[in-house]
Structure 1
Amino acid sequence: MRDAWPDSVTPGGSTAPLGARGDLCGEPRAGTEHGAPSSALAEPLGSLPFVGSPWLVAAVLGAALAAYAAIAADVVEHGRLSALDEDLSAWVARSMPTAAEWIARVLSWVGGWIGVTIVVVVVLVWLLRRGEAALAALLVVVVLGGQLLNAVSKDGYDRPRPTAGSPIELPSSSSFPSGHAMTGIAVFGLLGLVFARELASARARAAAIVAGFALGVLVGASRVVLNVHFLTDVLGGAALGLAWLAVCLLLGILLGARRRR
C-alpha cells in the first residue's frame, strides 16, 4: 500500500426527536415544514455541538497552533521529543507484532485518499439530499484545504522518512507533518460533530464526537506502526489538523453571524 495523499450544542429544555432539533435559539430549521428538506444556509454551524461559541473554537485554535509550533520547533532543532523518534522507529521495525501491522494497514487505508474519498462522498450525498449545502461546502473545504496546507507544510520542512524498515513502501513525500494524522483529525473530527447533532442525548453526542476524533488518532497512530512516519510527524499533523478544523469552523461561525446581520 502506498500513500496517495500528499502525505500524504442546544442548552436546556426537553429533548427533541431526531431530525427535529432547531438552532441554538430553539427555533425549527428553515424549510422543515411539510416534510421539506432542512436548509443549513442560514445557520451553517448552529446545529453542531459545542460550535455555537466562537470563543471556544478560538481557544481550541490557539491551543492547537501552540502545540504545532512547539512540535515543529522541536523537529527543526532536533530537540528532546524528536530525539526519541529514531529509537521508537527502530523498536517498531524490530518488535511490532504482525497483527498490529495488519490493523494499521486497514486504518491507514481508511485515512488514505481512497478511504477518505469514499467516506466524504457518501456524507456529501447525505447532506445535499437533506438540503444542507453549507455543511457540505464546509466538509469540502476541510478536506481539500487541509490537503493543500499539508503539502505546503511538507515542502517547507522536507524531513526524510524513517529508514529503519517498513512493511509497506515508503511514500515519496516528506515526513513532517503527517498527512494521514492531519486528515484524520480534521475530517473525522468534523464528521463526529456532524453526526453527533443527530443524537438525542448529551451522552450519545459526546460519544459520537469522541469516536470521530479517536478514529483520527488511530489513523495517525497507524502511520507510526507501519514505520512510515516518526511520532513527531503524527503529533504535528494532528495538531495542524485540529487547528485547520478550528479555522474552518470559526470562519463558518463568523460568516453565519454576518449573514444574520
Structure 2
Amino acid sequence: MIARSWELFQNQVRQWRKEPLIPAALLIIACGLLGFIEIAEEVQQKESHSYDEKILLAMREAGNPADPLGPPWMEEMGRDLTALGGFTILTGLTVVSMGLMLLYGRVRLSLLTLVAITGGMQASAWLKSLFGRPRPDLVPHGVLVTSASFPSGHAMMAAVVYLTLGVMLARTQPSRKVRLYIVSLSVIIALLVGCSRVYLGVHWPTDVLAGWTLGGAWAVTFGLIALKVDPRRPGDEGRGDEEAKTLEESE
C-alpha cells in the first residue's frame, strides 16, 4: 500500500514538472472558491454594504451622484468596456475562438471550451436567482439592466470566457511569450469589464469581486481539465488524439 502510494506521488511530481503551474492553479481555484463564499456571506449579512456605498460614491462627482467621474467621453468608454462582457460579444468571441481551435485540430479542446462557457452561463444565472440581490439604487444606472445584482454576470462571464479562451488558445501556441501575452490580455479585459460595471452604477463592488473570484476559479478549473482531455502540446497539431495521448503517457 505504501509502495503504491509512493508511486502515485512520484507520478504526480513528474506531471507537475511537465506542467509546473498545476500547484499554482490549484491554489488559485481554492482561493477563488473560498473568496466567493466569504463575499457571499458578507453580502447576505450586509456587513460589506457600507464599503460598497463608499466605493460606488467615490466614482461619482462630489455632490452629484448622477454624474460619474471624468468627462463625458469617459462614461462612453465605460459603456464600450462593459459591452465586452455582454452576451453578444462573448458568444461571438467564443464561436470564433472555437473555430480557431478546430483549425488547429484541437477538437477536444474546442468541445471543452463550449462546456466550460455554457456551464458558466448557467451557473451565473442560477446564482443570481439564488441570492436575488437588488441592483444599486444609490446612483442612476448608466446602462439597461434587468437581472439581479449578485454576482455580477458581466464580471463573472468576462472572467469565465476571456480566461477560459485565453488558457485554451494559449495551449495552441509554441511561444511562451505569446502564451503569456494571451493570458495577460484576458485578465486585463476581465478586470476592465468588472470595473466598468461599478463605474456605471449597475453593480455593487462586492458583486463584481464575487464574479471575478468565481469566474476565475471556474476558468482555471477547466484549464486543468484541458490537460487531461487534450494533452497535446504546441507543435503536436498533426498528431491524432490517440497518438498524442500515447505520447503523453510514455513520458
| TM-score interval, normalised by the smaller of the two chains | 0.7 to 0.9
Counterpart amino acid of residue 96 in structure 1: L
Task: Tell me what 1:88 maps to.
Answer: 55
> C-alpha distance in 2, partners of 1:83/1:138?
41
Name the structure where helix makes up a greater proportion of residues. Answer: 2
Task: Tell me what 1:62 maps to.
Answer: 30
* Structure 1: gaps (5+ residues): 1-45
TM-score, length basis structure 2? 0.75
Q: Which has the higher contact order (CA 8 A, sep 6+)?
A: 1
Aligned: 1:202 with 2:170: no
Match of 2:151 among 177, 182, 201: 177
> C-alpha distance in 2, partners of 1:54/1:88?
35
Superposed displacement of residue 72, structure 1: 1.0
Counterpart amino acid of residue 104 in structure 1: G
- CA offset digits 1:31-89 (Å, max 9, x no partner): xxxxxxxxxxxxxxx9xxx966643332221011111111111111111x332112333
- CA offset digits 1:155-193 (Å, max 9, x no partner): 111100012112222x22110000111111121112222
Task: Tell me what 2:11 maps to.
Answer: none
* Distance change in 2, residues 1:55/1:188 (3 Å): same
Helix, strand or coil for the counterpart of 1:173? coil
* Structure 2: gaps (5+ residues): 1-14, 232-244
Range 111-120 or range 245-254, more displaced:
245-254
* Distance change in 2, residues 1:200/1:246 (3 Å): closer
Aligned: 1:212 with 2:186: yes
Identical pairs, percent? 30
Aligned: 1:101 with 2:57: no
TM-score, length basis structure 1? 0.72
Match of 1:241 among 203, 211, 215: 215
Aligned: 1:72 with 2:40: yes
> C-alpha distance in 1, partners of 2:220/2:174?
25
> C-alpha distance in 1, partners of 2:182/2:45?
38
> C-alpha distance in 2, partners of 1:254/1:183?
24
Superposed displacement of residue 95, structure 1: 3.9
Range 229-238 or range 207-216, more displaced:
207-216
> C-alpha distance in 2, partners of 1:251/1:194?
11
Note the aligned Cα RMSD (angstroms). 2.4
Residues paired across the two proteins, number: 210
* Distance change in 2, residues 1:215/1:178 (3 Å): same
